[in-house]
Amino acid sequence: MEKNNVNANITKVLEQVSTAAKKYQRDPAEITVMAVSKTQTAEAVMTAAAAGMQHFGENYLQEALEKIHKCQEKNLIWHFIGPIQSNKTRAIAENFAWVHSIDRAKILRRLAEQRPVDAEPLNICLQVNISGESTKSGISPTQLSELVALAQELPRLRLRGLMAIPAPSKEFEDQRAACETLAVLFRQAKADSPQMDTLSMGMSADMEAAIAAGSTMLRIGTAIFGQRQR
Ligand SMILES: *Cc1c(COP(=O)(O)O)cnc(C)c1O
């Protein structure tokens, strides 16, 4: 992907975010765009950083660690958003500022235990399976309050919010309904944990629906970097 394209894509995404925010009476300042750089090079990350992106999302640990290392000087904020195997939690706890894809108690406990004591608390979002598909990761909505309570009481973690990856749909109203489902769960969880401030939803194809439903953090890959490299 050419540098110019990444720059132009970022400008376009930010314009779309501000247009959608206006349309749904949201303050654009409360919507963060995370650039999802999985499969993209460290050079692409640096191009996006130079164009003003500060938050980067990665799914694959080994690949992410190389990029984090190469981009050390840039003061970027790294988010782990991929499925988490328990043997990977230490490296995640040591190298990321945020983890969005937590769907079970075991992972939560390990991250709390392994977050270095001298680091800021690890920001976490709990991933909810809002589509009810058995193959998708995410905790079921009925088990959510238990995991919220655990996340609150564990040390070295800061529970920030909820995350979901809705089943793909091309229909705006379906996308919006899925996002509203997560927004309702978020408001319920927030009643017990008022510090929660992050609704992590919205990707390249459902950005507007996510903003309409109250997203505060969009995870945008292809609309910024183009097709993935593999
Ligand atoms: C890949 C990925 C994204 C970005 O998807 P795009 O459709 O490329 O914007 C967002 N969230 C998660 C969890 C992903 O794995």
Write the pLDDT tens digit of every residue in 49-96.
999 999 999 999 999 999 999 999 999 999 999 999 999 999 999 999
**Residue 23 — pLDDT band, cuts 50, 70, 90?**
very high
Which tens digits make up the pLDDT trace of 102-152? 999 999 999 999 999 999 999 999 999 998 766 668 999 999 999 999 999
Among the residues of 57-204, which ranges form H helices?
61-70, 89-95, 105-114, 144-153, 172-192
Average pLDDT of the residues in 14-40: 98
Q: pLDDT at position 228, please?
A: 85
- Of 92, 2, 95, the C-alpha closest to 43 is 2
**pLDDT > 90? residue 174:** yes
Q: pLDDT at position 229, please?
A: 77
Q: How far is the CA of 117 from the centre of ligand 1 (A)?
A: 31
The more confident residue out of 177 and 132 is 177
Q: How far is the CA of 136 from the centre of ligand 1 (A)?
A: 14
Give the closest residue (by CA) to ligand 1 atom 11.
219
The upper half-sphere exposure of residue 179, i.e. CA atoms within 13 Å in the direction of its Cβ, equals 27
Cα 54 from chain centroid?
A: 13
Q: How far is the CA of 201 from the centre of ligand 1 (A)?
A: 10
Cα 97 from chain centroid?
A: 11
Q: pLDDT at position 131, please?
A: 84
End-to-end distance of the chain based on CA atoms, in angstroms? 13
**Residue 10 — pLDDT band, cuts 50, 70, 90?**
very high
Q: pLDDT at position 135, please?
A: 60
Residue 38 CA: nearest ligand 1 atom is 1
Q: pLDDT at position 221, please?
A: 98
Q: pLDDT at position 230, please?
A: 72
Give the closest residue (by CA) to ligand 1 atom 10.
219
Q: pLDDT at position 132, please?
A: 75
**Residue 1 — pLDDT band, cuts 50, 70, 90?**
low
Cβ neighbours for 157, distance < 8 A, ≥ 6 positions apart: 108, 111, 112, 115, 121, 122, 124, 151
Ligand 1 pocket test, candidate residues 203, 225, 230, most atoms within 8 A of CB: 203
Handedness of CA 133, 173, 206, 123 (dihedral sign): negative
Kindly state the tokens that stand for 117: 């004591």
Using the 8-state DSSP alphabet, how is residue 152 labeled? H
Q: How far is the CA of 27 from the centre of ligand 1 (A)?
A: 23
DSSP codes, 84-123: --GGGHHHHHHH-SEEEEE-SHHHHHHHHHHS-TTSPPEE
Cβ neighbours for 10, distance < 8 A, ≥ 6 positions apart: 35, 48, 51, 52, 53, 224
Which class for 84: exposed (0-12), middle (13-18), buried (19 or more C-beta within 10 A)? buried
The upper half-sphere exposure of residue 129, i.e. CA atoms within 13 Å in the direction of its Cβ, equals 14
Q: How far is the CA of 100 from the centre of ligand 1 (A)?
A: 12
Which tens digits make up the pLDDT trace of 183-217? 999 999 999 899 999 999 999 999 999 999 999 99
Q: How far is the CA of 141 from the centre of ligand 1 (A)?
A: 21
Q: Report d(CA 192, CA 158) in Å as an integer.
A: 14
Q: Report d(CA 201, CA 108) in Å as an integer.
A: 20
Q: Report d(CA 71, CA 18) in Å as an integer.
A: 28
Give the closest residue (by CA) to ligand 1 atom 6.
221
Residue 100 CA: nearest ligand 1 atom is 13
**pLDDT > 70? residue 22:** yes
